[in-house]
Structure 1
């Protein structure tokens, strides 16, 4: 459920690996006879083909599959030629664990994010590493995210506001002495929602947008969300600020925040809207919060264009359960405690203002590299 500014990065390189072909009809007599013939013809054995009781190949595969493994290679050309010539050969199998998501088996390859180094800058270090390494899931996300953010700032500079919400006072408990306000985007930042109910998800929700319209979505929660909320609660007033429909956002928050740590939900009607179809979150509409104590975390750079140094970027989340960004974000936000102005903290470590000031991505990456190298020395 994305706003107009949400866009799916080019992830064409993430093509599911093809699985080996296994003959259908496992229970038929003909299959068992053919299986026995194959077993006798391919006399050579290995530990992955035959178990201790010398059971046929398919039985052992079934046994191994119950242990959460799958067959993952196609026969190569040499093997095919040998098969055609009826020469003895050996079936070769390559196994990899099945990653289970939401009690369903997923065959999509997963890339696990490495743990950060000692001299690590949130977002910046991963971005520099992505430009210096081969493409994988997370490297491509970081590169695409920087490119989209760069273009977003250029577009915002030429767009015009066609709707601006009225300023308002945000209620706060007088006993609440927390110094900072944290605004969190929802879609692709904390969760991912899909209208395709066939896809694996954490929870399927029916959301009533109006008396006549009920929306069914599959909700996937970004790993580390609950831990982040509980860790930041003593220091931050936590508010959701999304460009999505208000009823939709409240229903999602009700599910992902059972402990009610999130105090408020701001939605689409609180966003500015441009002639280019962009939703921009102007933080100045909240009249009783200081910008020097306010942070907005959003995967879309459109959102914090009006207050660049209040914005904290994060790569989008779709469904990869190996994502560790919320854990890294938590450590970054804890680091702001003690600063009188959060904008100085963001300027020092994120330098997001470079996206608006510089003309090329290469210039930005060079500055980020210099930032990391200076820390090492």
Structure 2
């Protein structure tokens, strides 16, 4: 199986090839493209092998399946199970995994044409049609379907400082789609307005690793776009960032509630009667902390806090699901490793017994040769001359 260590070794070798190319008068941009192709092949081979391994493991239990046997003895599990049933009523379903296959390599099939300039650039075409241009400081795209976006991102990954991230420019559709694909690939994006879409891409990767699914979360891109390195900081960051004061207030109030406060918010959101203790907990002491009105209905602030509460529960649910998934895979790998070690020990013992029997047989044969008496050769006894017993006449 391809490993991250194998990829690091490959990257080290590619860096040496790149240096030799420059030394021999070759084009470093073209060598960068070739390096991106080789790394893409290794990464997609590794991803396919991981999916194949995951598909051979038992299905990860759902949160409900995990909570049900524990709810009878654990009040926290019982509470989470009740919330899970309200959030997602039980449905009859059949779960399974898709078979894992290696994704097609997006850089394969691209041809290049070097334009000396100035400024120098490298044009890339597919089937004779230009799809993107490497202009040094940025990569321009003329076709913005998923394949070409990924190709540009893979090229940019080898060209630019990925610790700082990439800057996406172009139509809104292109930026959204490119941010999702970058999230799926784990490539940092600088655009602050695209961070939520980037996170959706990361979520898609987790779902794909679990079920083999490939769900598109954003619309197809149209128009043109470009990918460039993070812009240098001249005199500080001059961008204006908006602060959502209401969201911060809701988060602060939510942090002061315990599980009983969560239950009170849930009951108020469903217009169910509250106990005096629950009412006191949600009434607060002024308009900045009041979550219910005099009729025990949620105030606008209470609605925001409730939304944050359910978002927090959903996040915790996903984290628990991921922990279950990771634990399940780790346990299965340990089980397989133990079985392989047991099989190896059994085979070693069997081989040792065979060798011991062969040695014993050889030793017994040698002992028989040593103990056998050394017999002298048998000599024929001389015959006595026969006497003539007859009387002469």
Decide: shared fold, TM above 0.5. no
The structure with the largest helix share of the pair is 2
Which one scores higher on RCO, CA 8 angstroms, separation ≥ 6? 1
Q: TM-score, normalised by structure 1?
A: 0.22
The structure with the largest strand share of the pair is 1
Q: TM-score, normalised by structure 2?
A: 0.21
* Higher Cα Rg, which structure: 2
